[in-house]
Amino acid sequence: MKKLLIKSSIALSFVMLLSACQNEANTQANQAAQTTESTEETSNQEDELTLYIVRHGKTMLNTTDRVQGWSDAVLTPAGEEVVTNAGVGLKDIDFQNAYSSDSGRAIQTADLILDENEQTNEIQVQKDSGLREFNFGTYEGDLNDSMWQDVADEQGVTLEEFQANMDPEVFADSVAKLDKEQMEENNVEEEINWPAEDYETISDRLTNSLDQIVADETQENGSGNVLITSHGLSITALLDTLFDGFEAPADGLDNASVNIIKYKDNDYSLESVNDMSYAEQGEKAQSD
């Protein structure tokens, strides 16, 4: 009887030991799975680059409704105000770097946004001519209505019809064609003035600049937030080139609007277009 009790006790102890070992193994497996999942989430976040692409604030030439491509003008007081509001709305975004078209209005916009930022250490805005607005050639400084009407006439539609169905490629190629005709008509040699750019030229320089920014940032930092300031039609053309089926806002991109692109696994994804909520948040914060 004693031998039977001893054997039963040993068997029970063995079962309990096996159960404890199994529980410990399950706990370790769960911890390992959680660690792997956490590592994967961290890795996914680290591999993602977020690009905040902002249109410059309103300028003096915008206010007088003049063609403004490679020609330039400073921001108006109202233009500075809305950009500052956007900067306040973006103040908690930790920008690791900032890039801008080399046009003064875009540089001024980047500086005003960074002035309001509470997360970013002092960084220098890097200027990139590839982020410029379209070059409109002989139309630079002309009234916008004059250029747009010429394009609509060239397309055989009314101005209202063309603007309602605005295609950046058709627009740029039409301006380039009309500009060339004007230069030939007035016996102006191409070397004397910069000719208007066709869409292929514009989209190539814009995507080349963006790809280079992404390559530099992913190599240096791997992930993070990047500020880019550019121009209405150029941002529209960039989004149109990168994303199939992109439709530009009927009235164009607003001054100080934010457009967000994410880059991950060698692929761009469009998160938001013509977002004025940052400027609206900033305006509200400053009025409270």
Distances (CA, A) of 119 to 25, 82, 93, 287: 44, 20, 6, 22
Using the structure block, give the residue that is written with the tokens 């770097």.
97
Catalytic, out of 116, 133, 140, 283: 133
Using the structure block, give the residue that is written with the tokens 């991950």.
264
154 is catalytic: no
Picking from 205, 198, 231, 254, the residue whose alpha carbon sits closest to that of residue 73 is: 231
Q: Does the annotation list 232 as a binding residue?
A: no
Q: Checking phi first, is residue 56 left (phi over 0); if not, alpha (psi -120 to 50) or beta? A: beta
Contacts of 90 (CB under 8 A, 6+ apart): 52, 113, 116, 117, 227, 258, 278, 282
Q: Does the annotation list 56 as a binding residue?
A: yes
Q: Does the annotation list 60 as a binding residue?
A: yes
Catalytic, out of 56, 81, 116, 217: 56
Burial 17-56 (b: 16+ CB within 10 A, else e): eeeeeeeeeeeeeeeeeeeeeeeeeeeeeeebbbbbbbbb
Q: Does the annotation list 62 as a binding residue?
A: yes
Q: Does the annotation list 1 as a binding residue?
A: no
Q: Does the annotation list 3 as a binding residue?
A: no
Q: Does the annotation list 236 as a binding residue?
A: no
56 is catalytic: yes
Picking from 54, 104, 103, the residue whose alpha carbon sits closest to that of residue 83 is: 54
Q: Does the annotation list 59 as a binding residue?
A: yes
Picking from 191, 192, 209, the residue whose alpha carbon sits closest to that of residue 53 is: 209
Q: How many CA atoms lie within 13 A of 8 on its CB side?
A: 5
- Per the CB < 8 A criterion, the answer to whether 125 and 100 are in contact is yes
- Binding site membership: which residues? 55-62, 105
- Binding site membership for substrate: which residues? 55-62, 105
* Residue positions annotated with a catalytic role: 56, 133
